[in-house]
């Protein structure tokens, strides 16, 4: 538009000002509506802009996952690459920025490479040149420069760095972590150590002699040493085990070949451990020492509350250990091993206390323990044995309770031991028996000897069986629910004591012939809120 030179200066000024205002108004309108333009259209306008919805955030419904690739085309959860080779990592959803990495086997985290706008990070051959052979299993999340990182960790990916052309590695075993050889002898329940030379960091896999099946095994540290723990070895019966080991790569096929085998001889731990020679109830000499075990059940009365109760709970554990020794017990199942609420130094995850350590301290010979913590009742079920526990397990039952199983390998034979503490009310107690019976049946074969004991929170009479004692009247469990399915609960011995108001029992027999073992009650030995201890002698 041409400007008329004859227009007054004031009018020209107003026209220009009006135009400027119009341009500004349009700009402000555009800014206001841009957030409402669809994501695709917005990215067409600003192709380098990444909306926050594309970034991974702990609050987003989609989990942050990562995958790895050696060719930037095929991504998966694990790859096998030669030493010094580059690889690529991809995020989903797409994330553009630095990552934080956490390596399995390490307690520290580090700032890692940055991903591009496609969510892909490249790890260069220069970076990989200094990485030694091994399995590197890691999780990732977006890096935060300061403050608390709000992002959740991703899944784990495995980058196995291989050096197939390196000198052949050798595998050896040790029972003390110091002297290594191709063969060792240990007792049931003892840990051992396995070392690979040259060291390979990461998981190993094992194959038993005569088998074609490889199984993922334990994790080795940077020195190439992996530990078979006490918990693992407690489930391994006596015998000779010859196996081959190699690094686990997470890929098929595994390129590593077998170099040598090692042998671990597991022996029954009888040294310093002897069966009791007297009856637990009467103190008389056992008529058939080689075929009998003394067993007991004891609800020691767990206490909650403040730190003041910790010392009392410790004293209960000491008494349990002393009575285990004095009464000549071979097996004792305990209920209400209460957790220590205020202390932070008790590291046993099964009891959340130091119960096992204090019981063991009262004995000169090694004891074996199996425990399960019950969150609903804030206490543990603990099985104590003078002999190795070579198998174990548990089942959840109604009322946030459990029934536990431990297979005791004694010189007299194997005994399957079940420990439980049922809820009181019929709504929980009878269904709890029902599920317990099914679990017990699932563990029994042929002529298995077994006992089940504990605090049933139920009374018993020979006419109707088990009934709720905490309610308004006698409400019996049905036959299909009750322990009477598998136990002959009527005991004819003068030792057996169901009254007054007994709720603790030791039942047992064989898989084909149920019976109640003769048992007696002792006393609570001054333990606050505890029941009397019930004792029995089992014939195997």
Whole-model pTM: value is 0.55
Q: Is the pLDDT of residue 26 over 60?
A: no
* Weakest mean pLDDT among 36-50, 72-86, 157-171, 229-243: 36-50
Express each pLDDT in 514-539 by its tens digit. 665 667 888 999 999 999 999 988 88
Q: In the prediction, which pLDDT does 233 show?
A: 87
Peptide linkage before 500 cis (omega within 30 of 0): yes
How much is the pLDDT for 345?
A: 67
pLDDT of residue 402: 96
Backbone angles phi, psi at 310, to 5 degrees: -60, -45
Question: Which stretches within 258-337 are classed as H helix?
Answer: 308-326
| Superfamily (CATH) of domain 170-267 | Immunoglobulins (2.60.40.10)
What is the pLDDT confidence band of residue 8, given thresholds at 50, 70 and 90? low
**Domain map (residue ranges) of the chain:** 52-162, 170-267, 293-539
Q: Higher pLDDT residue, 468 or 296? A: 296
pLDDT over 90, % of the chain: 44
Q: Within a 10 A sphere around the Cβ of 51, how many other Cβ atoms?
A: 11
146: Cβ contacts below 8 Å, ≥ 6 apart: none
Mean pLDDT, residues 114-122 taken together:
95
pLDDT value, residue 45: 29
Give the pLDDT confidence of 120-130 residue by residue, as tens digits: 999 999 999 88
What superfamily in CATH does domain 293-539 come from?
Answer: Endonuclease/exonuclease/phosphatase (3.60.10.10)
Mean pLDDT of the chain: 82
Q: What DSSP designation does 238 have?
A: S
Model confidence band, residue 201 (pLDDT cutoffs 50, 70, 90): confident
Q: For residues 62 and 65, what is the distance between their CA atoms, to the nearest angstrom?
A: 9
pLDDT band at 159; cut points 50, 70, 90: very high
**What letter would DSSP give residue 168?**
P
Reported as a single tens digit per residue, the pLDDT across 160-196 is 998 776 667 799 999 988 899 999 999 888 899 999 9
52-162 and 293-539 in the same fold: no
3-state secondary structure of 193: strand
> Which of 75-79, 399-403, 499-503 shows the lowest mean pLDDT across its residues?
499-503
Q: What is the mean pLDDT of residues 329-336?
A: 96
Name the band, by pLDDT with cuts 50, 70 and 90, for residue 306: low
pLDDT at 400 over 70: yes
379 has a pLDDT exceeding 80: yes
For the segment(s) 52-162, the CATH number from 3.30.420.40, 2.60.40.10, 3.30.70.100, 3.40.50.300 is: 2.60.40.10
92 forms bridges with which residues in the sheet?
Answer: 65
């Amino acid at each position: 538009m041409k400007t008329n030179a004859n227009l007054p200066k004031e009018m020209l000024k107003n026209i220009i000002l009006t135009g400027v205002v119009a341009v500004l108004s349009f700009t402000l309108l555009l800014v206001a509506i841009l957030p409402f333009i669809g994501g695709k259209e917005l990215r067409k306008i600003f192709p380098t802009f990444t909306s926050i919805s594309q970034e991974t955030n702990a609050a987003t419904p989609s989990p942050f996952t990562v995958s790895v690739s050696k060719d930037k085309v095929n991504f998966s959860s694990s790859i096998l690459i030669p030493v010094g080779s580059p690889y690529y990592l991809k995020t989903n959803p797409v994330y553009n920025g630095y990552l934080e990495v956490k390596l399995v086997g390490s307690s520290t985290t580090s700032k890692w490479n940055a991903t591009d706008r496609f969510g892909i990070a490249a790890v260069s051959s220069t970076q990989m040149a200094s990485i030694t052979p091994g399995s590197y299993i890691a999780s990732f999340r977006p890096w935060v420069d300061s403050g608390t990182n709000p992002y959740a960790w991703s899944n784990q990916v495995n980058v196995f760095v291989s050096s197939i052309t390196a000198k052949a590695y050798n595998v050896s075993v040790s029972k003390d972590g110091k002297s290594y050889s191709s063969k060792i002898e240990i007792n049931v329940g003892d840990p051992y150590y396995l070392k690979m030379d040259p060291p390979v960091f990461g998981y190993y896999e094992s194959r038993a002699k005569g088998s074609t099946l490889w199984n993922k095994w334990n994790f080795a540290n940077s020195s190439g040493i992996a530990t078979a723990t006490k918990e693992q070895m407690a489930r391994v019966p006596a015998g000779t085990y010859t196996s081959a080991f190699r690094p686990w790569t997470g890929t098929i096929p595994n390129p590593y070949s077998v170099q040598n085998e090692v042998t671990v001889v597991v022996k029954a731990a009888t040294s310093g451990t002897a069966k009791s020679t007297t009856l637990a109830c009467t103190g008389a000499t056992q008529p058939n020492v080689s075929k009998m075990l003394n067993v007991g059940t004891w609800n020691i009365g767990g206490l909650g509350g403040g730190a003041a109760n910790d010392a009392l709970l410790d004293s209960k554990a000491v008494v349990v250990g002393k009575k285990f020794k004095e009464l000549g017990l071979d097996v004792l199942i305990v209920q209400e091993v209460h957790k220590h609420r205020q202390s932070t130094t008790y590291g046993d995850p099964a009891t959340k206390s130091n119960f096992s350590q204090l019981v063991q301290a009262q004995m000169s010979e090694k004891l074996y323990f199996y425990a399960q913590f019950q969150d609903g009742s804030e206490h543990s079920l603990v099985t104590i044995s003078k002999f190795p526990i070579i198998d174990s397990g548990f089942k959840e039952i109604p009322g946030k309770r459990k029934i536990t199983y431990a297979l005791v390998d004694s010189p007299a034979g194997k005994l399957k031991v079940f420990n439980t503490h049922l809820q009181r009310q019929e709504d929980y107690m009878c269904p709890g028996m029902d599920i317990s019976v099914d679990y017990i049946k699932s563990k029994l074969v042929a002529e298995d000897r077994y006992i089940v004991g504990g605090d049933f929170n139920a009374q018993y009479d020979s006419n109707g069986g088990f009934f709720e004692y905490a309610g308004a009247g006698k409400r019996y469990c049905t036959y299909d629910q009750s322990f009477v399915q598998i136990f002959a609960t009527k005991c004819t011995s003068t030792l057996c004591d169901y009254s007054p108001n007994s709720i603790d029992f030791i039942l047992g027999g064989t898989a084909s012939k149920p019976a109640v073992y003769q048992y007696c009650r002792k006393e609570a030995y001054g333990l606050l809120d505890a029941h009397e201890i019930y004792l029995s002698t089992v014939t195997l």
